[in-house]
Amino acid sequence: MDSMGSRATAEILRPEPMTLEQWAGLEEDQPGELLDGHLVEEEVPTTLHEAVVSWLIEVLRGWARPRGGWVFGSE
């Protein structure tokens, strides 16, 4: 266990190492992300993560709106 608690292990989608150029050349809808030279499953946000993001958007929107600004989520 590390200082942040137990770590989740991402499933490796391709066992052979992959370069950044190979990863960039994949189809756009190919699932996964490059981690330490391996294509692994994408991280799925937790409920706590989504709660923090929602709160942050609400706080930032309250600050930005009176100034003519906008705040959006990542998607």
| pLDDT reported for residue 8 | 55
Give the whole-angstrom CA distance, residue 13 versus residue 32.
7
Domain ranges of the chain: 10-43, 45-75
Q: What is the pLDDT of residues 6-33, one digit of tens each?
A: 445 678 887 789 998 998 888 888 888 8
**Cβ within 8 Å of residue 60, ≥6 positions away:** 71
Assessment of whether the complete model's pTM goes beyond 0.85: no
Give the whole-angstrom CA distance, residue 7 versus residue 1.
7
Give the whole-angstrom CA distance, residue 44 versus residue 40.
12
Q: 3-state DSSP call for residue 54?
A: helix
